[in-house]
Amino acid sequence: MLSKIVRTVANQLILFILIFGLYVIAHGQITPGGGFQGGAVIVSGVVMLLVAFSSKELKKSLRERVLSIMESTGALIFIILAFVGIGTAFFYNLLVGTPIFGHIPPIGPNPGDIWTGGVVPLMNLAVGIKVVAGLSAVVLALALFSSGEEVEE
């Protein structure tokens, strides 16, 4: 556990990291971002907390069970969204043209419309949930390993 200054600053900073990560996830369909990148940004915040507090402290709030549920749910949402279009083909983008994320962007340079992409933004969100849970579990497990502990079973 590091000093009180570091812990306080980390506590404040995590909010900004979270917002930035969510921004990257939400703009995945029009910028070079997406579920994995945004999730990785959020997990960098988790790593910061891991350094500021110890892995034992963090283990109390980041439960392995919760992470496991989050990860499976994220992956399941992704697969269900892919299954939604199976009437025509797997991964078929059913939402294009509908009121939900349904705008069709013009070809060529454009100002960028976030309300596009059909199921892609939703899939990005699902991947984001999965990556946040999965990578946090990985860094937490490695940190606990190196301090000689086991992840709870």
Partner 1 sequence: MASLIAQSPILIIAIPLAAAFLIPLIGMVSQKARNALVVVSLVFVAFLVFALARDISINGIHIYTLGATSPDLTIPTGFMVPVRIILEVDGMSVFFSIIWSIVSLAAAIYSLSHIASETGQTRFYTLLMLMVMGGFGLMYTGDLFNLFVFLEIASISGAALIAYRTKFADTQEGGFKYIVVSAIASLMVLFAIGLLYAQYNSLNIAYLAQVIQYTTLDKIALALFLIAFAMKTGMVPLHLWFPDAYSVAPASITGMLVITSHACMYAAFRICFTLYGGVINAPVVGWIIIAFGLLTMFVGVTMAVYQKDVMRFMSYHAISQLGYMWIGVGVGLAVLGNPQLLATFGRDAMSGGIFHILNHAMYKPLLFFTGGALFHYTGTRDLTKMGGLAHKMKWTTILYMIGTLSISGIPPLNGFSSKILIYESVYQFHPILTITGIIVSILTLASFTKAFHSAFMGAELPEYKRGKEVPRSMIIGMLILAAGIIFVTLFPSLVVDWAIHPAADALIDQSAYINAVTGAIP
Partner 2 sequence: MEHIPLNFPFLAAALLVGISFYIIIFKKNLIKLIMGIAMMASGVNLFLVALGYRAGGNAPIYTDVPEGPMVLPVPQALTLTSIVINVAVLALMLTIVIRIYRHTGSLDSEKSRKLKG
Is 36 a binding residue for partner 2 by CB under 8 A? The answer is: yes
| Contacts (Cβ under 8 Å, ≥6 apart) of 92 | 85, 86
Rank residues 9 and 84 by Cβ distance to partner 1 and give the closer one: 84
Binding mask 131-150 for partner 2 (x = CB under 8 A): ----x--x--xx--xx----
119 binds partner 2 (CB under 8 A): no
Return the number of the residue (52 or 127) whose C-beta is nearest partner 1: 127
Binding residue for partner 1, selected from 44, 54, 72, 116, defined by CB under 8 A: 72
In sequence order, what DSSP letters do the residues of 57-88 get, joined into one string? HHHHHS-HHHHHHHHHHHHHHHHHHHHHGGGT
C-beta of residue 43 within 8 angstroms of C-beta of residue 24: no
* Cα–Cα dist 6/9, whole Å: 5
**Residues in the site for partner 1, rule: CB under 8 A?**
65, 68-69, 71-73, 75-76, 79, 82-83, 85-86, 88-93, 153
